[in-house]
Amino acid sequence: MLNSTRVTAPGATPTNWAFLLHGILGSARNLRTVASRLCAERPAWGFVMPDLRNHGESHDESGPHTVSACAADLIRLAAHLGIEVHTAIGHSFGGKVALAWGEASEAADGNVRAVWALDSPPGRPDLALAARSEVVRVVEALRSVPVPLPRRNAIVPLLAEKGFPPALAQWMTTNLRPGLGGFGWRFNLDAVEEMLRSYGGTDAWPWLEAPSRRAVVHAVRAGRSERWDEGELQRFVGQRLHLHTLPNAGHWVHVDDPDGVHRLLLAGLDADR
């Protein structure tokens, strides 16, 4: 079972629940500030924040390690917790997992109201764009890092030497945990690469364009993201399918424009109750 955290407003008893899903190389705590801000203003909402398989403290799931397997993990988690989750919000890889969860939940007659994909184009990515993405380059760089490391901050100069910005290198220290002989990764790199291949091969458009889809779907595009091509953008037409753009944000939308993300999600929560 996935490791997860529930975030609610102090003293509140939520009547609406949403998944909040991190991306590759992340963990549940990456989006805790997003959840806390939303709960503070909308105490009727609570958020389930899992560590996706092979990340954080979730390391018991067997393969194959795919987007659809991650969606099935979420369905089992909600049943285990005994709560009805009817909204999913995911960033990057987590956005495509959110879309897959919406499709799988509807197929199982679940009450899915809304899905949000934050800078996560629903289709199969352009291979040239994907090969240049920061996430792919980080995974490749981590392959050459000698672990265990003597201390957390030892990763910072190693990544800086490979051209990654200091903020990203510092963030990667949160993905190290103590073990025998030093610090190792919280994630499984082999499984992460399998998940990335699944991400690239997963196309959510058949569900998005299906007349039978009931859930409202929101995509949030980072204006400075390299992930979107014109063909993908032009497909965002139709009922219950919305594209929002944060013009000044890069891929890490919740870091680059936290207020913009907050405003969009707040309005969405009000509409999706």
Is pLDDT of 131 > 70? no
Work out the pLDDT band at 261, boundaries 50, 70, 90: very high
pLDDT attached to residue 126? 62
Q: For position 168, what pLDDT does the model report?
A: 82
Architecture of the structural domain at 4-125+203-272:
3-Layer(aba) Sandwich (3.40)
Over 60: is that where the pLDDT of 30 sits?
A: yes
Average pLDDT value for residue range 17-45: 94
Q: What is the rounded CA–CA span in Å between residue 155 and residue 153?
A: 5
Cβ(34)–Cβ(102) below 8 Å: no
Residue 132 has pLDDT above 60, yes or no: no
Average pLDDT estimate for 174-199: 90
125-150 average pLDDT score: 78
Domain boundaries of the chain, sorted by first residue: 4-125+203-272
pLDDT given for residue 272 in this prediction: 73
What does pLDDT average to over the chain?
Answer: 92
At residue 149's C-alpha, the angle toward residues 145 and 151, to 5°, is: 130
- Secondary structure (H, E, C), the chain: CCCEEEECCCCCCCCEEEEEECCCCCCHHHHHHHHHHHHHHCCCEEEEEECCCCECCECCCCCCCCHHHHHHHHHHHHHHHCCCCCEEEEECHHHHHHHHHHHHHHHCCCCCCEEEEECCCCCCCCHHHHHHCHHHHHHHHHHCCCCCECCHHHHHHHHHHCCCCHHHHHHHHHHEEEECCEEEECCCHHHHHHHHHHHHHCCCHHHHCCCCCCCEEEEEEECCCCCCCHHHHHCCCCCCEEEEEECCCCCCHHHHCHHHHHHHHHHHHHHHC
pLDDT at 130: 53
pLDDT tens for each residue of 31-41: 999 999 999 99
Alpha carbons 114 and 29: distance in angstroms, whole number: 22
